[in-house]
Structure formats: C-alpha cells, structure tokens
Amino acid sequence: MTENRLRDRTATAFLVALELPARQRGGWSAAESLDELERLVDTAGARVVGREIQSRPAPDVATYIGRGKAEEVELLRREMEFDFVIVDDELTPVQQRNLERIIDCQVIDRTAVILDIFALRARTREAKLQVELAQLSYRLPRLTGKGIELSRQAGSAGGVFNRGPGETKLEVDRRRIRDRMAALRRELEEIKAHRARLRAERATSAIPVVALTGYTNAGKSTLHRALAGSDVLAEDRLFATLDATTRRVEPAEGEPYLLVDTVGFIHNLPHDLVAAFRSTLEEVNQADLLLHVVDAAHPKREEQMQTVQAVLNDLGAGDKPTLVVYNKADLVDPAEMEHLLASTPGAVAVAAALGQNLDGLQRAIQQALQARRVIVEAVIPYAKAAWLAWAHERGQVLAEEHREDGTYVRVELEKGLAARLRAALGQ
C-alpha cells in the first residue's frame, strides 16, 4: 500500500518557511530555500500543493512560525486537504507537537525529509546502517510525550517520510532505541576498521586517491562515470547516490589514480547525518586531491560552494589540495564562464554529461597530482639492496649509479613514500 501510494504520488505537502534576517540564512532567501525544499520533497515521493512564507526577526519558541500563522495554515488545510506541513528548518520537539495541535495533520521538518531520502536511496549495508543511526538519533528526543501523535503518524499519508526503522511500531521506548544505536555504532566501527585496512593497502601501492566532492546534484556521479567508465547511478535528483564508490582511472597520459565518488552536501545538512556518515566521508580526508564539482549554471552556485567548504572544514579537510571543476558549462554563457574561470585560479570547465573538456580536466588532475611527488637523491647500501628494487617498483628512477658504498639513485616518489625511504636509509 505504501509503495503504491508513493508511485502514484498521491501524498501532498504544504511548505512553510520563515523569512529571517539575511545573516541567519547564509545568503539564501526563504523563497530560494523553499525551491530547494520542493525538490527534496519531490525526490522523497510527495507532491507540493502550496507554500507560505512568514517574516519574523526570529523563530517563535513555541510554534516556530507563530500561533497566528499556524492557524492560517490550518484553515488552508481544511480547504486544500493536504497530508503534510513541512517546515524548512529543523523543529524542536516542542514546536512540532504544538504545531500538530493547531494544524490537524502531520508536521515534519526539512531534516526529516532529508533523512527520508537517505533511507530511500541507501543501497549498501553501510549506508543503511548509517541512515538508521541518523534517524534514531533524530527521533529519540522526539519520543517524549508522543503517544497519540505517534499513533496518528503511523497511518498518515501512506507512510511517506516514515521510511526506515520503527515505521511499523513508532512507540518504541528509549532504552530499546539506545540499545539499537549502540549496536549500530559497533557494526559501523567494524566497517570503519575494514575501510581503514583498505586505505592502508591503497597507501602501500602509492596510487593517488582523487575524491569527488560538491553540492548535491552538481554532477559528481556523472563525472565519475565519464572519467572512470563506472556504473555509478547518475540522476537529475538530489542525493542520487550515498555510497563512496571507488574506481581506478587509467588516463591516456600520466599516472593512474583511484577516483572516489562521495555523498553530496546541502545547506542545513542535518548534524546527525554528518555524524553518521563521517566514516564514509573520511574518504575525503584521506584523498590526495579533491575535485570540488560545482553546478556552474545554478543561480546559487556561490552559496553552494560556501556550504561545501563549510562541511569540508567541519570534517577537517578544508585545507586539502582542491581543484574546482565547473560542471554543466554548456548551460552557461561563454562570457560568464570565462569570468568564472578567471576568478577561480586553476579551475576547469567541463560538461560531464556531454563529455566536453574531459581531456583538459585529466591534464589538470595530473598537474595537481604531480605536486604530491618529490625527487629524492640517496645512496642505498648494498646490504639494503631490497630498497633499490622497492624504489624501482614504487617510483620513477631518474638516475642510477653503482658506487663503492652503495647504489646512488635519483628517484621521483610520492611524498609519503619518500619519507619512508629516507627513514629506512637514515638519511
């Protein structure tokens, strides 16, 4: 019944936002943020039938939008008979309960919609565990005083925005939720350890890692497919992929590298979600180079870039070597594209879906990766001849000369391997 309801898109939603002072919205107007929320709701499987914006200096502590505006929305509900009211911000449990007492339908917030999309999109075991942990973290404080309300939610609107854990038994007690969260964290720690072992193996192979990062729907997965010939899902939908997918790229010129596709970011990304996906996002921290993919045609590209940078800073990857890739360049006026490239030193413009300028991007990637390599000059004693073979295997030997005290080599190596060689030789 739930799947049929989603497929027929019969669940309807009414959107509400506050027009707060600009400094509180990070450069987004309420209308622009609602446009994005509407796309999120569409991705989740519901249909938006209306929207309302309320100007306030700050959110109302009790109802977020104010009691008067909430009563107006209830009058609209009686007329339009929508199933949900969705608020474009994260509500406190008190605000959510008070709104549902005034508006006779389920009231949810932006965070719940994003969590629902992640539950819908999760494919691998790790992604499902991460989403479930984030959902439980979000729901736990909202259990207080929720009896009748939760029972009502279980049957409303065919279950849209109620995917994932607990949708058939919402009145689960806090102890069981905490036990389940502890079990999820233990299992995710095991997966994290396995991922760390894989990264260690990659490090010993000296193959550089390039990670795609950027705002959701900027075209990361499309670019991954174009560069690596991968089967990563690429759709014109928000959060089309959640899993960190790694493929080896063998460029026509230059050294091979591993290309990692990661989950996209969005403004007001739920903190619980960032925390839950931290192990997956560690791929960004471990990468040798980040490709910050930007939708060049998006009217809010500057704000989107700032959002991505803020999340990278939060993850401790804000100072990683980064190459800005302006995607969808075919949709931008050439003069504007030229100005963008001039204002972003080193940036590259591509149209991944059309395969335009991928060769230029590959050259830029090789140039950026070259900066991670250094030239080492060393004398390898004959007693440590195994390191000579190691240097040939892991680097590019530029010169070699047999001397009385050992073999002199001039070799180009990745910085980490260069440090390892110097340490082994005590030089």
Model confidence pLDDT, tens digit, residues 140-158: 888 754 443 444 444 444 4
pLDDT for the residue 95: 95
Mean pLDDT, the chain, as a whole number? 83
Q: Which residue has the higher pLDDT, 277 or 35?
A: 35
Tokens of 195: 């991922």
Residue-level pLDDT at 20: 83
Q: Of 231, 167, 221, 243, which is closest to residue 6 (Cα–Cα)?
A: 167
Inter-residue contact 58 to 95 (CB < 8 Å): no
> Helices 125-139 and 110-121 sit at what angle, rounded to 10 degrees?
160
- Distance between CA atoms of residues 130 and 108, nearest Å: 21
pLDDT in tens, 329-350: 999 999 999 999 999 989 999 9
pTM score: 0.74
Predicted confidence at residue 7, as pLDDT, reads 34
Q: How far apart are CA 273 and CA 296, in angstroms?
A: 26
CATH for 2-121 (3.40.50.150, 3.40.50.11060, 3.30.70.3000, 3.90.1300.10)? 3.40.50.11060
pLDDT higher at 10 or 211: 211
Tens of pLDDT, residue by residue over 74-95, are: 999 999 999 999 999 999 999 9
Longest dimension (CA), the chain: 94
Measure the CA–CA gap between 82 and 161, rounded to whole angstroms: 14
Number of H helices, E strands in the chain: 16, 13
Least reliable range by pLDDT among 46-50, 106-110, 122-126: 122-126
Which residue blocks in 124-165 are alpha helix, DSSP H?
125-139, 148-154
CATH of the domain spanning 206-370, picked from 3.40.1160.10, 3.40.50.300, 3.40.50.2300, 3.20.20.70: 3.40.50.300
Residue 17 has pLDDT above 80, yes or no: yes
* Cα(109)–Cα(87) distance, integer angstroms: 5
* pLDDT for the residue 305: 94
| Calpha distance 400→378 (Å, rounded) | 10
Which residue intervals of the chain bear CATH 3.40.50.11060? 2-121
pLDDT score, position 15:
97
270 vs 231, residue with greater confidence: 270
Q: Which of 321, 329, 320 is nearest to 358 (CA)?
A: 329
Q: Is the pLDDT of residue 26 over 70?
A: no
Q: Which two tokens stand for residue 106?
A: 């389920």
Instruction: Please count the other Cβ atoms lying within 10 Å of the Cβ belonging to residue 118.
Output: 26
The tokens of 114 are what?
A: 């994003």
Mean of the pLDDT values across residues 376-383?
91
Query: What residue ranges of the chain are covered by domains with CATH 3.40.50.300?
Result: 206-370
Tell whether the model's pLDDT for residue 162 goes beyond 80.
Answer: no
For the record, the structure tokens of 70 come out as 């909430």
pLDDT in the model for residue 150: 40
Full strand arrangement of the beta sheet holding 47-55: 47-55, 12-19, 84-87, 106-109
What is the rounded average pLDDT of the residues 23-32? 74
Confidence tier at 214 by pLDDT (50, 70, 90): very high
